[in-house]
Chain A
Amino acid sequence: MDAESRAYHEAFMREAIAMAELALKSDETPVGCVFVRDGNIIGRGGNETNRTLNGTRHAEFVALASILQSNPITILEETDLYVTVEPCVMCASMLRQYRVRAVYFGCWNERFGGTGGVLNIHSDPSVDSPMPVFGGIFREEAIMLLRKFYVQENEKAPEPKQKKTRELKTEIAPTDIHAPKDAATKV
Chain B
Amino acid sequence: MSTPEVAASSLEQLGLVARRGQLQPLKTKDEVRAALETYSAYVVEVPAKHANAVKDVIQDALPDLRTSDFGHLRRVVQFKFLPPHLQKTFHPPSRLPRGDEDEHSDVPEDALAEELDTVRFFLVSPTRYIQPADLLLALRKKPPFDILPTAPRILYVTVPALAPTSAEQAAKWTIDYWPIAYKNTNPYGPHPSLVLRNTADLSYEAGHWLALAREAGRQISDLQLGENIGCVIVDKTKGVSNIIAVAGDCRWRSPVGATTPQQGQGNVMAHAVERAIAMVAKKRLRVANANPDLLDRPLFCDSPFTDLEKRFFAMDNLEPHGYLCVDLDIFITHEPCVMCSMAILHSRFRRCVFGRRVPLTGGLAADEAVKKGDGSIGAGNGLGHGIFWRPSELNWKFLAWDWVDEDENDTVLSIKDTLHI
B361 within 8 A of A: yes
Q: Which A residue sits closest to B266, measured CB to CB?
A: A73
| A residues apposed to B, CB below 8 Å | 48, 51-57, 61-62, 64-66, 68-70, 73-74, 88-94, 97-99, 111-112, 114, 118-119, 121, 124-127, 162, 164-165, 167-168
B267 touches A52 (CB 8 A): no
Q: How large is the interface on B (under 10, 10 to 19, 20 to 34, 35 or more residues)?
A: 35 or more
B284 touches A112 (CB 8 A): no
* Residues on B with beta carbons closer than 8 Å to the beta carbon of A127: 360-361, 377, 418, 420
B295 touches A52 (CB 8 A): yes
Q: A73-B266, A98-B268, A112-B394 are in contact. Are A93 and B294 (CB under 8 A)?
A: no
In the complex, besides A48-B295, A53-B324, A121-B338, 7 extra interface pairs with C-beta distance below 8 angstroms are A65-B269, A66-B299, A93-B342, A112-B342, A125-B371, A126-B377, A164-B323
A65 touches B266 (CB 8 A): no
Taking the closest CB of chain A, its distance from the CB of B314, in whole angstroms, is: 19
B265 within 8 A of A: yes
B324 touches A168 (CB 8 A): yes
Partner of A97, one of B265, B323, B383, B394: B265
A125 touches B383 (CB 8 A): yes
- CA of A98 to CA of B325 in the docked complex: distance in angstroms? 26
* Residues on A with beta carbons closer than 8 Å to the beta carbon of B266: 73
B348 within 8 A of A: yes
- CA of A56 to CA of B341 in the docked complex: distance in angstroms? 11
* Residues on B with beta carbons closer than 8 Å to the beta carbon of A93: 337-339, 342, 363
Interface centre among A91, A92, A97 (most CB of B within 10 A): A97
Interface centre among B278, B346, B387 (most CB of A within 10 A): B346
A73 touches B346 (CB 8 A): no
Taking the closest CB of chain B, its distance from the CB of A153, in whole angstroms, is: 16
* Residues on B with beta carbons closer than 8 Å to the beta carbon of A74: 264
Q: Which B residue sits closest to A124, measured CB to CB?
A: B383
* Residues on B with beta carbons closer than 8 Å to the beta carbon of A51: 294-295
- CA of A11 to CA of B177 in the docked complex: distance in angstroms? 60
Taking the closest CB of chain B, its distance from the CB of A112, in whole angstroms, is: 6
Taking the closest CB of chain B, its distance from the CB of A132, in whole angstroms, is: 16
* Residues on B with beta carbons closer than 8 Å to the beta carbon of A165: 323
* Residues on B with beta carbons closer than 8 Å to the beta carbon of A61: 269, 300
B281 within 8 A of A: yes
* Residues on A with beta carbons closer than 8 Å to the beta carbon of B8: none
